[in-house]
Chains A and B, each alone.
Chain A
Amino acid sequence: MSLATEKRRTVRRASGTGPPRGTAGHGAWFLVLPALIPVLALSVGPLLYGILLAFTDAQSGRTAPTRWIGVLNFSDLLHDTLFWESFRIGLVWAVGVTVPQFLLALGLALLLDQDLRLRWLARALAIIPWAMPEVVVGVMWRLVYNPDAGILNETLRDLGLGDGRDWLSGLATALPAVIVVGVWAGMPQTTVALLAGLQNTPRELHEAAAVDGAGAWRRFRTVTWPALRPIALAITALNFIWNFNSFALVYVLTNGGPGGRTRLPMLFAYEEAFRYGQFGYAAAMGCVMVAVISVFLALFLVGRIRGGDDA
């Protein structure tokens, strides 16, 4: 894989200098339109339409015409303590998943970069969380957390660590319990990304540092991390965004319960839109989420540009 990336890079360098080459010339529009039209019609369009809806009183199943109500939805949102509570939960969830995910994945990627015997097994197993439908991941962990028939409580009982509890229904345990699942589900992807980054750092630098007598920590800080930083920043920003927007996993695990303790913003907006039919209001929530996410998107873009320059 690292070889392929290497090749790709040199090819791009070559084509990047001088005027554009290649065979796609004046007919390029015909090649672009087939993808461009559906994207504009079914994603840019709805996105703009969604932003417009946020300024209306649109509701599902109402016969009266939809009216333009300005920023009323947004000022209502400002006073909606339930929404801000779910927003806070969303941030706790996104940070709580993204940070351990990154740290564990970094440790693991460093491990797998070594010459260890169980690497193939790690690779094979990493496929499971990555390829599973989120709904199945949720179902699976419900079976693990099940208060009576679950393996977690049974293991705790075997170890003499109390009688176990109903993890997903406990007010205090529900959010940490779903965060563990989030970490589990996203770790392989992060690990593979970081591992690829590691494998692209030149070996000679490491060896030179080792000859100079640099310890493991210094080698990490002066050689590994600088090379890894762009990809680490990019993957962390993306992970944060994906986690903040996640839905299926928690929908299946707790459906936002108990008492709203795991009601992520997406779950809140989904209920608002498709249970209570408040389309305009839910669209306004979407807008607020976009605004917050943009900050992290900017981080990601910065990471990517820096990555392009450094490499």
Chain B
Amino acid sequence: MRTRPAARAGRAAQYTALIGYLVFLAFPFLWLLSVAFKPARELGSLHPTWIPKHPTLANFRQAFDEQPLLHAASNSLLAAVSAAVIAVALATPMAYVMARQRTRLARAASGWVVVSQAFPFVLVIIPLFLVLKNLRLIDSVPGLVMVYVVWALPFALWMLVGYVRAVPVELEEAAAIDGAGRLRTLVSVTAPLLAPGIVATALFAFITAWNEFFFALVLLKTPEKQTLPVVLTHFIGTEGVADLGPLAAAAFLATLPSLVVFAIVQRRITGGMLAGAVKS
């Protein structure tokens, strides 16, 4: 009984901390929204308000007028979808082997997965730049896709190995005893159980490619070839002076696809990532 006030104070402190965190998390995003829907007149005011007094879509229109946003979005979409599909198609068989066999190759591969997380990309991008230039794949979305595939592979492997391990080996053995061949077992027993994991991995690869900036900045030069993150930086002029409204509008639009996708697969991603990160 005597502990009750203390416990209540503890609860209050807990909620205060939690609300503090929620505010820290939310306020920059809410501010982005606020700026995106404000007319130029209010953006020039020295005393900005949270809620736009005269909300407008003018910034969005202006953003599309100023920069080739649609073009950039379709480049981003093309790069991200191709990278995700190819990476998962290549990684799934290998992940299967890594999860089911403890060979030297499998161990080397999982070591590589870890090491690849640690590259300073500048060491990789210079040779890639030279090679892609010789192949005339610089300044092209296919060239970028090649880079994204390799860049997404380690993480895809990492997640997929965890998903394969979650499929009980006993099921496969049972199918084998029932006379199913290896291919048949893979297709009719393993694949359906693995499908949600494969989808989650592909979506994660999609998000990382959609969000990627460094490789795209170095490899894509002509404005019509550039992806959304690169085009976004054009709104910030060379002097760092930006047209705030259109900048915020474009930034908000660039975030929507990954926010939606991430919201859908968030649980699976965290599960898969952790399974890979802690034990593999």
Assembled-state Cα–Cα distance A53/B266 (Å): 40
Contact of A23 among B168, B185, B232, B244 (CB under 8 A): B185
Is A42 touching B18 in the complex (CB atoms < 8 A)? no
Assembled-state Cα–Cα distance A282/B121 (Å): 11
Is B147 touching A42 in the complex (CB atoms < 8 A)? yes
Nearest B residue to A272 via CB reads B122
Is B166 touching A247 in the complex (CB atoms < 8 A)? no
Binds B, one of A27-35, A70-78, A205-213: A27-35
Contact of A22 among B109, B123, B169, B214 (CB under 8 A): B169
Q: Tell me if B90 counts as interface (CB < 8 A to partner A).
A: yes
Known: A235-B277, A265-B120, A290-B123. A247 touches B263 (CB 8 A): no
Contact of B119 among A128, A245, A270, A311 (CB under 8 A): A245
Known: A131-B262, A269-B122. A24 touches B96 (CB 8 A): yes
Assembled-state Cα–Cα distance A7/B117 (Å): 27
Question: Chain B 132-166 against A: per-residue CB contact (8 Å), 1 yes, 0 no?
Answer: 00000000000000110111011001000010011
Q: Tell me if A4 counts as interface (CB < 8 A to partner B).
A: yes
Q: Tell me if A11 counts as interface (CB < 8 A to partner B).
A: yes
Is B213 touching A247 in the complex (CB atoms < 8 A)? yes
Q: Tell me if B17 counts as interface (CB < 8 A to partner A).
A: yes
Shortest Cβ gap from B120 to chain A (Å): 4
Q: Tell me if B57 counts as interface (CB < 8 A to partner A).
A: no
Assembled-state Cα–Cα distance A14/B35 (Å): 56
Contact of A279 among B14, B126, B273 (CB under 8 A): B126
Q: Which residues of B contact A135 (CB under 8 A)?
A: 211, 213, 229, 232-233, 251, 254
Is B153 touching A131 in the complex (CB atoms < 8 A)? no
Q: Tell me if B195 counts as interface (CB < 8 A to partner A).
A: no
Known: A35-B93, A133-B211, A133-B258. A125 touches B275 (CB 8 A): no
Using a Cβ–Cβ cut-off of 8 Å, how many residues does chain B contribute to the interface with A?
112
Q: Tell me if B270 counts as interface (CB < 8 A to partner A).
A: yes
Q: Which residues of A contact B232 (CB under 8 A)?
A: 133, 135-136, 139
Q: Which residues of A, 252-281, contact B by the 8 Å Cβ criterion?
A: 252, 255, 257, 265-266, 269-270, 273-274, 279
Known: A34-B93, A135-B229, A307-B278. A46 touches B153 (CB 8 A): no
Contact of A150 among B18, B48, B228, B270 (CB under 8 A): B48
Known: A24-B101, A143-B31. A255 touches B279 (CB 8 A): no
Chain B at the A interface: SS class = helix
Is A122 touching B22 in the complex (CB atoms < 8 A)? yes
Nearest A residue to B162 via CB reads A8
Assembled-state Cα–Cα distance A163/B254 (Å): 33
Chain A at the B interface: SS class = helix
Q: Tell me if A177 counts as interface (CB < 8 A to partner B).
A: no
Q: Tell me if B116 counts as interface (CB < 8 A to partner A).
A: yes
Q: Tell me if A92 counts as interface (CB < 8 A to partner B).
A: no
Q: Tell me if B64 counts as interface (CB < 8 A to partner A).
A: no
Q: Tell me if B193 counts as interface (CB < 8 A to partner A).
A: no
Nearest B residue to A278 via CB reads B126
Shortest Cβ gap from B64 to chain A (Å): 17
Question: Chain A 1-24 against B: per-residue CB contact (8 Å), 1 yes, 0 no?
Answer: 100110111011011100011111
Assembled-state Cα–Cα distance A104/B122 (Å): 31
Known: A131-B259, A133-B258, A290-B119. A24 touches B97 (CB 8 A): yes
Assembled-state Cα–Cα distance A23/B182 (Å): 6
Is B258 touching A11 in the complex (CB atoms < 8 A)? no
Nearest B residue to A26 via CB reads B182
Assembled-state Cα–Cα distance A128/B262 (Å): 9
Contact of B248 among A1, A108, A126, A143 (CB under 8 A): A143
Known: A23-B182, A128-B259. A107 touches B17 (CB 8 A): yes
Q: Which residues of A contact B169 (CB under 8 A)?
A: 11, 14-15, 21-22
Is B97 touching A31 in the complex (CB atoms < 8 A)? yes
Q: Which residues of B, 22-47, contact A by the 8 Å Cβ criterion?
A: 22, 24-29, 31-32, 34-35, 43-47
Q: Tell me if B70 counts as interface (CB < 8 A to partner A).
A: no
Is B240 touching A255 in the complex (CB atoms < 8 A)? yes
Q: Tell me if A103 counts as interface (CB < 8 A to partner B).
A: no
Q: Which residues of B contact A159 (CB under 8 A)?
A: none
Is A297 touching B266 in the complex (CB atoms < 8 A)? no
Q: Which residues of B contact A214 (CB under 8 A)?
A: none
Contact of A148 among B31, B46, B258 (CB under 8 A): B46
Extra contacts, 18 of them, besides A34-B94, A43-B151, A184-B28 (Cβ < 8 A), are: A1-B271, A20-B102, A22-B169, A22-B173, A23-B172, A38-B150, A42-B150, A53-B126, A114-B14, A122-B21, A127-B259, A127-B263, A133-B229, A135-B233, A193-B270, A241-B117, A247-B213, A279-B126
Interface positions of B (Cβ within 8 A of A): 14-15, 17-19, 21-22, 24-29, 31-32, 34-35, 43-48, 50, 89-91, 93-94, 96-97, 100-103, 105, 109, 112, 114-128, 130-131, 146-147, 149-151, 153-154, 157, 162, 165-166, 168-169, 172-173, 176, 182, 185-186, 190, 207, 210-214, 217-218, 228-229, 232-233, 235-236, 240, 242, 244, 247-248, 251, 254-255, 258-259, 261-263, 266-267, 270-271, 273-275, 277-279
Provide 23 A-B residue pairs closer than 8 Å at the C-beta atoms, listed in order of the A residue.
Answer: A1-B274, A5-B275, A20-B102, A35-B153, A42-B149, A43-B151, A108-B18, A111-B14, A111-B18, A129-B25, A130-B262, A131-B255, A143-B244, A144-B27, A151-B48, A193-B273, A251-B217, A252-B233, A252-B236, A265-B120, A269-B120, A273-B126, A297-B114
